[in-house]
Structure 1
Amino acid sequence: MIVVTRLNDSQFAINPDLIERIHANPDTTLVMVDGANFIVTETIDEVIERIAHYRAHVISLAYDPDPDEAPRGPRRI
Structure 2
Amino acid sequence: MIELHKLSHEREPFHLNPDLIERVDASPDCHVTLTTGTRIAVCESVPEVVGKVRTWRVDVLAEAMRMAR
> What TM-score comes out, normalization by structure 1 length?
0.81
1:31 partner SS: strand
Q: Which has the higher contact order (CA 8 A, sep 6+)?
A: 2
What is the number of residues matched between the two proteins?
Answer: 67
1:13 Cα deviation (Å)? 0.4
CA-to-aligned-CA distance 1:9-61 (integer Å, 9 cap, x gap):
11000011111111111110000001001100000000000000000000110
The one-letter code of the counterpart of 1:33 is T
Identity of aligned residues (%): 34
Whole-angstrom distance in 1 between the partners of 2:7 and 2:22: 20
2:27 paired with 1:25: yes
The one-letter code of the counterpart of 1:4 is L
Q: Report what 1:4 is aligned to.
A: 4
Unaligned runs of 5+ in 1: 66-74
Q: How does 1:45-60 map to 2 (within 5 A)?
A: 45-60=47-62
Which is richer in helix? 2
The CA RMSD measured in Å over matched residues stands at 1.4
> What TM-score comes out, normalization by structure 2 length?
0.90
